[in-house]
Amino acid sequence: MALILFIQSCKSSETFSGYSYDPEGVTDTQDRDIQEQPKRTIGFLSDGVWISNEFEGARANDVFRVDEFHYIIRIDPEISPINNSPWYGFRIWSNETRSVTVELEYTDGRQRYLPKKSFDDGLSWANIDSSNYRVDLETGNGILHLTTENDPLWISAQEVFTTRDFRMWKEDLMSLPFIQSQVIGTSHLGRSINQIKISEHLDEPLKGVIFIYGRQHPPEIPGFLVGLKFIETLTADTDLAIQFRKYFDVWAFPLMNPDGADGGHWRTNAAGVDLNRDWLFFNQPETAAVRNAVLKIQLRSDRKPFYSIDFHSTGRTIFYPISRNIDTFPHLFAYRWAESIQQALPDTELLVQPFDVVSPIAKNWSFRTFGIDGVTFEVSDEMSGNMLDEFASKSAETFMRLMIEEFENYIDSN
């Protein structure tokens, strides 16, 4: 596909009550009760088939037998109404090799994510074969035809990446001497909120700081993984990354919603709140912890906020920059960055859709607080594997080149 740079007219309003795809009341970020998911393994002895949600990141609220080797799995969201990001995840196995049909039935939702499968306990994932999957257009249910055996087959909306997997990734990254990690707070359920700092050349009199936010919405795994690969590219032993780290520190918060990630949530944290609508009142411990950590830069005369990136996923790969008519620093950076990605990856489709800064989201808070430019970086739901890695690394490389130029221009003009 040819890469498309599409500029949409900006959306503005004096007050904000949610985007067109948001449920009513999304900007009320006070705690609410959520629907707990019972964890259990359900067996159908006459078929010799078992279905389980007893693992972190699973979602399968109930299972019903329709007919021989035909089952309905009901998928309920943690709150309702809710955005249509219907996460599901379960394991299925049988005493003998069987051909089974599984229907995913959603409460307050419809099938969105192409099923992923794993045969090795979630270590590696692949898309289910298209011939074994369809969507019932009338009901919105997903219908899967699976071959089961004694070893469990994992099925999920995206590959499962839990807080345990994140800890392992973080520990690998921390083998580098210029990486620091600290716990800046805890979630409702006591899981750690982590800040990762990339900081080298500590004797420089002034350095810019890049803020990276990630996984506020649990199902948005491609954006989360692009964010992790993006960070890895910034830490690489390349001339470009070394020069970048001379000019910039990175303050990253890659996994802001650990309760939602491990709980298999569609959208919210353990208090039923969309974290990316809580950047005005900061009612939630996760957003409050990140805000407090970022504000510490105000105590540093040798550090200057430069840019913010918030990684997400949606139906297509999209940049949501700040509107051109709003004065930011560095001005119009997101547009130049998008053009550079376009040149580096001509076979990738990218849209650019500007918005104003009235909504209570991470990028807009960074602008309101520091005057800096930023982008909500949305990755296609179906980007995966080598394509995802290449997109992340090329995006990071173009980002570093442009940011180095911005920093040098800033120093020259000051």
pLDDT of residue 3: 39
H helix or E strand, kind and range, residue 308: strand 303-314
Cα distance from N-terminal residue to C-terminal residue, the chain: 43
Q: How many other C-beta atoms can be found within 10 angstroms of the C-beta atom of residue 8?
A: 12
DSSP state letter for 178:
T
Report, as an integer, the average pLDDT of 96-116.
97
pLDDT of residue 15: 81
Residue 182: pLDDT band with limits 50, 70, 90: very high
Chain segment 190-237, per-residue pLDDT in tens? 999 999 999 999 889 999 999 999 999 999 999 999 999 999 999 999
**Whole-angstrom Cα distance, residue 369 to residue 290?**
13
What the chain holds in terms of domains, given with CATH numbers, is 41-156 (2.60.40.3120), 163-413 (3.40.630.10)
Residue 119 identity: F
Chain segment 245-277, per-residue pLDDT in tens? 999 999 999 999 999 999 999 999 999 999 999
Q: What percent of the chain has pLDDT over 90?
A: 95
Look up tokens 């196995």; give the residue: 93
- Residue 143 pLDDT exceeds 60: yes
pLDDT: which is higher, 143 or 14: 143
- Residue 385 pLDDT exceeds 80: yes
